[in-house]
Amino acid sequence: MNMSQFNFWMPVHVHFGVGITKNMVNEIKGDHVLIVCDPFLYKCGTAQGIGNGLTGKDVYYFSEIEPNPSTTSVDKCAEYARANKITTVIGVGGGSSMDVSKVVSCLITSPGSIYDYYAGGKQVFKKRTVKLILIPTTAGTGSEVTNVGVFTNVKAGIKMPFVCGEFWADCAVIDPEMTYTLPPAVTASTGMDAFCHAIEAYWNRESLPLCDYLAIGAMKLILENIQTAYAEPNNTAARGAMIVASLTAGVAFSQTRTTGIHALSFPLTTEFGASHGLACAITLPAFTRISTEMASEKMQELAQILGFRDVNGLADGLEKLMVSLNMPVRLNQLGVKQEDLPHITRVGLGAAAQMQLTPATVNEAAIQALLESIL
């Protein structure tokens, strides 16, 4: 653990409470509010439930956000927001809607397209003046407390992260009620995504003490509650614990970034259709095993804190947990074949900044071997 020097900066005001999304009018800046969500959250009334509580405000909805949101959706949403002179953007959903909201809240007052600022674009956002509020509806992404968005870059045909100091939200509103209707499969995959955030912050080559403690707390909460939240969707205690765990893991990885698990998830989502959580969790046991290469002592300590005899026991335990949640644990269950592995390896290694934070050798041979071990 690096005790000699570290920096921690997480400027998002967090509000937590059951039912608090029903009345957020005091949080709104100006009179023109845009709620950004996916079609499902609009059709089922969740987005309107938030909008209806904003008495006296003009509420607009953009409900076309897709999983792995595209740069095209970001630009379309920004145009809609500019046309309606939006003063507060509320991102409601899993990572996709919150990530789009981060960029849109900047594009309202900065000209042009997302491409002018991202993926080689040379412009820099002006200081954001539109208020940004993020409301997670899954207990997984942690996007509400990070300054990162991940987008499908339509021009390049790949998923790419976008990190920007203007993306820290003004506030994150955490309401466990938002997760009560999540289907079990989504509870499982998003919950394991949160576990990945925590363990990747912990074993990260840029880990820092504050984040280690947050990460350990998040992992314990997830291991203690995910099966209950999965089997009993209405168990409010388990739901509350899971969304706190996701938030806590989010704060941890907001400082460290993620590692090889997330780097390899990009090709598995864009090319094999796995949800983000599944695409991450499937390599979690294998990365846990290789983490001993450079973080042996620290990982041994973690394994024992979490109730396992050693790191291999932890890796086996995580795999068993995923099986109990009916999640795939082999790449062939996602349709991946042996001949796909070199390509997945290359795309994963392309996310070099993340990959290099893994506490193990991460060259082509090592990643190919890791993938073969779980084919």
The residues with which 132 forms a beta bridge, in sequence order, are 89
> Footprint of Fe ion on residues 312-371 (CB under 5 A)?
none
Q: Is 144 in the site for Fe ion (CB under 5 A)?
A: no
> Footprint of Fe ion on residues 229-248 (CB under 5 A)?
none
In terms of CB distance, is 149 or 317 closer to Fe ion? 149
Question: Nearest approach, Cβ of 251 to Fe ion (angstroms)?
Answer: 14
Closest to 103 (Cα-Cα) out of 53, 66, 69, 55: 69
In terms of CB distance, is 191 or 359 closer to Fe ion? 191
In terms of CB distance, is 86 or 284 closer to Fe ion? 284
Alpha-carbon separation of residue 40 from 37, 46, 75, 129, 193 (angstroms): 8, 9, 21, 29, 21
In terms of CB distance, is 193 or 271 closer to Fe ion? 193
Backbone angles phi, psi at 258, to 5 degrees: -95, -175
DSSP 64: -
Enumerate the H helices of 55-162 as residue ranges. Answer: 71-83, 95-107
Question: Nearest approach, Cβ of 276 to Fe ion (angstroms)?
Answer: 6
In terms of CB distance, is 81 or 199 closer to Fe ion? 199
Question: Nearest approach, Cβ of 278 to Fe ion (angstroms)?
Answer: 11
Question: Nearest approach, Cβ of 262 to Fe ion (angstroms)?
Answer: 6
> Footprint of Fe ion on residues 190-209 (CB under 5 A)?
193
Residue nearest to Fe ion (CB): 193
DSSP 70: B
Piece of the chain touching Fe ion by CB under 5 A; list 41-49, 62-70, 188-196, 242-250: 188-196
CA 268 to chain centre: 15
Question: Nearest approach, Cβ of 263 to Fe ion (angstroms)?
Answer: 11
Separate counts of helices (H) and strands (E) for the chain: 15, 8
In terms of CB distance, is 110 or 354 closer to Fe ion? 354
> Footprint of Fe ion on residues 245-284 (CB under 5 A)?
none
Question: Nearest approach, Cβ of 20 to Fe ion (angstroms)?
Answer: 25
Torsion-angle region of 38 (φ positive above 0: left; ψ -120 to 50: alpha; else: beta): beta
In terms of CB distance, is 28 or 148 closer to Fe ion? 148
Up-side HSE of residue 235: CA atoms within 13 Å toward CB?
A: 15
Contacts with Fe ion: how many residues (CB under 5 A)?
1
Distance CA 164, CA 326 (A): 36
> Footprint of Fe ion on residues 11-70 (CB under 5 A)?
none
Closest to 229 (Cα-Cα) out of 220, 245, 241: 241
Question: Nearest approach, Cβ of 238 to Fe ion (angstroms)?
Answer: 21
Q: Which residues of 64-84 are buried (b: 16+ CB within 10 A; e: fewer)?
A: bbeebbbbebbbbbbebbeee
In terms of CB distance, is 34 or 286 closer to Fe ion? 286
Distance CA 137, CA 51 (A): 15
Full DSSP string of 106-120: HHTTS-S-GGGTSTT
The binding track of 148-187 with respect to Fe ion, each residue x by CB under 5 A or -, is ----------------------------------------
In terms of CB distance, is 259 or 291 closer to Fe ion? 259
Distance CA 130, CA 107 (A): 10
Piece of the chain touching Fe ion by CB under 5 A; list 66-74, 149-157, 189-197, 319-327: 189-197
Question: Nearest approach, Cβ of 100 to Fe ion (angstroms)?
Answer: 16
In terms of CB distance, is 196 or 299 closer to Fe ion? 196
Question: Nearest approach, Cβ of 97 to Fe ion (angstroms)?
Answer: 15
Dihedral angle over CA of 336, 341, 344, 347, nearest 10: -160
Q: Cβ distance 302 to 220 under 8 Å?
A: no
Question: Nearest approach, Cβ of 140 to Fe ion (angstroms)?
Answer: 7
- What are the residues binding Fe ion (CB under 5 A)? 193
